[in-house]
C-alpha cells in the first residue's frame, strides 16, 4: 500500500490505542454488558429517575464502545479496498479510499479528544464568567471580545447560550458577564479555558494609536442538578437586589428584579438578571452559587488545583494562560501547551478546538508517545 495509507493507518491505530486506554476497554465492555442486561429488567422504570440515569450512562458508554468498534471495522474495510484497487490499477478507487481513510483519521482524532472528557462533571452544562482586569475601557472591551469568542464557539458546536448577568463598562465593553452554555460535555470542553487571557493590540480608544496590553479572566463551573446535594447556610449569604442593565425592556430597568448573592465564607459572588421576577432570579442565582461551590470542591480533588487557584489570584502579568497578539504581529499562543495560531481573527471568531484539545490532553497526561507505546 502507499506511504499515505500506511501513515494514516498508523495515526488511526495510535488514536484507537489511546481511546481503548482511556475507556479501560475490558472494564467498559463489561459495564456495557451489565447495563444492557439491566435495561431488559421490566421493573427498571419503577424508579423513573434511576432508570433515566442508567439509560444516560448506557447511551454514552455504548456510543464510545460501539464507535471504536465501527471505526476499526471501517478502517479494515477501507484498507482492503485500497489494496484491491492498487492491485487492479484503479487510481480513482485508490483516491476514493484514501479520502475515506483521511475522514476516518479525523473521526479517530475527534473521538480521541472526546475520550478525555471523563471527569466527574464533564458531561454537564456550565456557566462561563468573564471579568475585566485593571485598565478601564481597554480591559472592559477585551472582556466583551472574550464573551463573543466563547459565544461563537458555543454556537458553532450546537450549544445553547443564555446570558445570565452583564455589568456594562462606563464607555464600552463589559466589567463582567456570566452566560450559561447548555449542551453535551459543555463543562468538559470549556473547563480548560479558565484563567487570565492577555490581549496586545493598537488601542481603538487611543487617539495616538499606541499599543496597549489588556487582561481579562475567564472562570468556568458546571451546572449541578438536584441529585448533587450542596448544603448552604442562609446565614452565610448576603443578598442584594438591583436594577438590571442593558436590554430587557422597560420593566427590567424600572424594578429591582436583579439579584446578587455573596457567599461570605468563600467570597463567591453570583448574580442573575434574566427574568422579570425577583424570585425566579433568586432561584437561578442560588443554582449558580451551588454550581460554584461544587466546582470549588472538584478543584480540590484535582492535582492541578494549586495551579488553577494561582491563575485566579491576579488578572495581570504572570498569571495568563493565553496571549492574543494583534500588533505588531499576528499570533495567539497558549502558554500552557505551546499551541500557536497565526490567525487571531479566526480564534476570536470561535476557532478554539485545537487549544482545548491540547489543554485536555495535558490535563490528563495523555501524549502521543504514550499512545505509540500502547499501540506497539
**Residue that has been written with the C-alpha cell 463589559 in this structure:** 174
What pLDDT shows up at residue 48?
Answer: 86
356-371, pLDDT tens digit by residue? 988 887 876 543 434 3
R_g over Cα of the chain: 24
What pLDDT shows up at residue 318?
Answer: 56
What pLDDT shows up at residue 370?
Answer: 43
What pLDDT shows up at residue 63?
Answer: 85
What pLDDT shows up at residue 360?
Answer: 85
What pLDDT shows up at residue 226?
Answer: 58
Residues in the chain: 376
Tally Cβ neighbours within 10 Å of residue 229.
8
Going along the chain, which residue ranges are E strands? 126-132, 160-168, 174-182, 195-202, 211-222, 237-242, 258-263, 268-272, 320-325, 331-334, 340-341
pTM above 0.85, yes or no: no
Residue 292 belongs to what H/E stretch?
helix 278-301
> For the chain, which ranges sit under pLDDT 70?
1, 118, 225-229, 244-256, 300-319, 364-376
Alpha-carbon span 139 to 315, nearest angstrom: 10
Grid coordinates in use for 268?
Answer: 463567591
What pLDDT shows up at residue 251?
Answer: 39
Q: Which domains does the chain have, with CATH numbers?
A: 3-116 (1.20.58.410), 126-225+318-374 (3.30.70.1660), 234-306 (3.30.160.20)
Amino acid at each position: 500500500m502507499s506511504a499515505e495509507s500506511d501513515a494514516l493507518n498508523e495515526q488511526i491505530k495510535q488514536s484507537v490505542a489511546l481511546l481503548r486506554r482511556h475507556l479501560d476497554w475490558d472494564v467498559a465492555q463489561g459495564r456495557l454488558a451489565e447495563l444492557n442486561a439491566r435495561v431488559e429488567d421490566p421493573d427498571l422504570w419503577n424508579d423513573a429517575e434511576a432508570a433515566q440515569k442508567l439509560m444516560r450512562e448506557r447511551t454514552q458508554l455504548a456510543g464510545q464502545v460501539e464507535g471504536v468498534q465501527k471505526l476499526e471495522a471501517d478502517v479494515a474495510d477501507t484498507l482492503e479496498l485500497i489494496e484491491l484497487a492498487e492491485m487492479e490499477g484503479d487510481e480513482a478507487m485508490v483516491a476514493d479510499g484514501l479520502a475515506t481513510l483521511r475522514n476516518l483519521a479525523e473521526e479517530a482524532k475527534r473521538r480521541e479528544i472526546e475520550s478525555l472528557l471523563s471527569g466527574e462533571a464533564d458531561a454537564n452544562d456550565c456557566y462561563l464568567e468573564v471579568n475585566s482586569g485593571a485598565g478601564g475601557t481597554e480591559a472592559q472591551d477585551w472582556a466583551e471580545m472574550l464573551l463573543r469568542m466563547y459565544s461563537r464557539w458555543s454556537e458553532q458546536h450546537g450549544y445553547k447560550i443564555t446570558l445570565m448577568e452583564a455589568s456594562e463598562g462606563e464607555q464600552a465593553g463589559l466589567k463582567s458577564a456570566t452566560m450559561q452554555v447548555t449542551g453535551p460535555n459543555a463543562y468538559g470542553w470549556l473547563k480548560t479555558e479558565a484563567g487570565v487571557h492577555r490581549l496586545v493590540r493598537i488601542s481603538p480608544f487611543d487617539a495616538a494609536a499606541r499599543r496597549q496590553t489588556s487582561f481579562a479572566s475567564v472562570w468556568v463551573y458546571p451546572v449541578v442538578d438536584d441529585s448533587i446535594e450542596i448544603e448552604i447556610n442562609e446565614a452565610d449569604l448576603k443578598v442584594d437586589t438591583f436594577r438590571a442593565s442593558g436590554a430587557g425592556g422597560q420593566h427590567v430597568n424600572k424594578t429591582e428584579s436583579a439579584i446578587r448573592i455573596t457567599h461570605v465564607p468563600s467570597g463567591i459572588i453570583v448574580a442573575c438578571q434574566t427574568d422579570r421576577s425577583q424570585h425566579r432570579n433568586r432561584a437561578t442565582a442560588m443554582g449558580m452559587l451551588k454550581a460554584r461551590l461544587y466546582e470549588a470542591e472538584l478543584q480540590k480533588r484535582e492535582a492541578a488545583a494549586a495551579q488553577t487557584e494561582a491563575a485566579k489570584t491576579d488578572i495581570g502579568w504572570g498569571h495568563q494562560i493565553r496571549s492574543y497578539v494583534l500588533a505588531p504581529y499576528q499570533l495567539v499562543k497558549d502558554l500552557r501547551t505551546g499551541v500557536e495560531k497565526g490567525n487571531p481573527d479566526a480564534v476570536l471568531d470561535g476557532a478554539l478546538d485545537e487549544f482545548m484539545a491540547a489543554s485536555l490532553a495535558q490535563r490528563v497526561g495523555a501524549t502521543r508517545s504514550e499512545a505509540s507505546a500502547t499501540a506497539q
